[in-house]
Structure 1
Amino acid sequence: MPTVDICFSPELLPLYDLKGKVAVVVDILRATSSIVTALANGVTHVFPVAELAECAALGQEHGCLTAAERDGRAAEGFDLGNSPFGYLDGVLPVRGRAVAISTTNGTLALRRSLSADAVVVGAFLNLQAVVDFAQVQQKDVVVVCAGWKGKFCLEDTVFGGALAERLADTFDVASSDATLAALHLWQQAKADLHAYLLQSSHVRRLNSLEANKDFEFCLRLDEYPATLPIWQADRLVPFVKQGQLQNA
């Protein structure tokens, strides 16, 4: 039976062997939520990079939109910040465009996870899409939590617990203490996820930046249940099931 494990921070990845496994990279607030929203709303592909300079260079090289954030604030000189509403509010047309994105935590976590057999992007917004992919793959899953500057964060770990709960019938979720801890947190949180996560330091940080609208949106469960960003070559693209039309 395949297993589910939780890596609480990218700094812990050297302790995990991702070869032959599915890495689910998660940064609920807000990188992976924004990437899922982008692809669900017609963005063709996303170049996630660690450095701002590389993000800007990709924008020039590919003629794509650029999105960047540092310390929760939109970085100057880029088309978009790190809010999912950048792909929803219609200020910039995004359908049919590519996006290069660099964020404080999420894109770094993704770049560090590329040794996995498959790398997908998870969020509460597309939780069911992640579940469906894992069940088809039937490989060990490692949830890579982006955290905050290398430290543990509550919302990413709670997502790991939500994923583990949905996979519990066909995956071993009891052999890892990290997964058990994440499950316990999710079981406490799920009755009122908003209220529970208001305790988290990153939510308080976002709310101080008047980004509470982002917080509320990023906690929607299964808003995009068929959208799964998957790493191919040098970019994230929408995973297309056999017989399914891309961006249908």
Structure 2
Amino acid sequence: MSQVKPSLYTSLSPALLHLHDLNNTVVVIIDVLRATSTIATALYNGARCVIPVDSVARCIELGKNIDSITAGERDGQIAEGLQYGNSPFEYPESFIKGKTLVLTTTNGTKLLHMALERGAGEVITGSFPNLSSVCDYLLASKQNVILGCAAWKDKVNLEDTLFAGAVINRVQEHFSINCDSSKLAATLYDAAKDDLYGFMHEKNASHYQRLTGFGLEKDIRYCLTPDVANVLPFYGDGKLTIHSW
């Protein structure tokens, strides 16, 4: 008798997360530009952990109570009251190694806390820089999966949908996928995979426009590059650390 495959669904926006049962499920938080790319990069470069918080005030408060770097953005720029932003290039090994990063972002950290409040079985973070680690873990864990796109203020965005499609492209044979959002993401990725940056540029993606307007083309290119920070950020005890299995 063949074994029943676990299910995989894609939530294209935090506003759709309530439609999914998160119990006994691995929820992948996806915020490609730039939270989950930055989280993977900071951990890859030796950060002790990343503490994701959902408000600037909480970030500042934690920074006063523990020895840490407080960082975050609102609307694509460094949030008022914080020292550092959400660019992966702000966290080289020479700066971040051995340190704790407290991070708040417009979309990604908010979605992570939503998933926790809704009883997610496990929470990991995914981005192109750690694509292979995410896929390897999902295949090894053999649990139901929700690919949770952080989007932009609840509006669906291209880059998070593309990453969901990239994951599906690699793991689909091992999951039961009865989900049009997943089919849409996989179709989009198939059209874009040969040149993700060119696709974002050609389609004039909203977040591409926003970050390019701030002179952050280098960030966009990095955040669309597979496996340059190939570790698995895993949430537990209030923080994200590198998971080994």
> Shift of the alpha carbon at 1:89?
8.0
- Does residue 186 (structure 1) correspond to residue 176 (structure 2)? The answer is no
Once residues 108 and 202 of structure 1 are traced to their aligned partners in structure 2, the CA distance between those partners, rounded to angstroms, is 17
* Matched residue, 1:101: 103
Aligned 1:28-107 pairs, distance under 5 A: 28-88=32-92, 90=94, 93-107=95-109
Identity of matched residues, %: 40
> Shift of the alpha carbon at 1:216?
0.6
* Matched residue, 2:226: 221
CA contact (8 A) 2:46 2:93 kept: no
Once residues 139 and 52 of structure 2 are traced to their aligned partners in structure 1, the CA distance between those partners, rounded to angstroms, is 26
CA RMSD in angstroms comes to: 1.1
Q: Deviations over 1:79-116 (max 9, x none)?
A: 210000011285xx211000110111110011111121
Scaled by the length of structure 2, the TM-score of the pair is: 0.94
Task: Read off the aligned partner of 1:110 and give its amino acid letter.
Answer: L
| Structure 2: runs of 5+ lacking an equivalent | none
Q: What secondary structure does 1:55 align onto?
A: helix
Once residues 200 and 113 of structure 2 are traced to their aligned partners in structure 1, the CA distance between those partners, rounded to angstroms, is 27
Once residues 101 and 17 of structure 1 are traced to their aligned partners in structure 2, the CA distance between those partners, rounded to angstroms, is 27
Aligned 1:58-207 pairs, distance under 5 A: 58-88=62-92, 90=94, 93-114=95-116, 115-173=119-177, 175-198=178-201, 199-207=204-212
Once residues 228 and 37 of structure 1 are traced to their aligned partners in structure 2, the CA distance between those partners, rounded to angstroms, is 10
| Matched residue count | 237
CA contact (8 A) 2:45 2:93 kept: no
Scaled by the length of structure 1, the TM-score of the pair is: 0.93
Once residues 162 and 35 of structure 2 are traced to their aligned partners in structure 1, the CA distance between those partners, rounded to angstroms, is 16
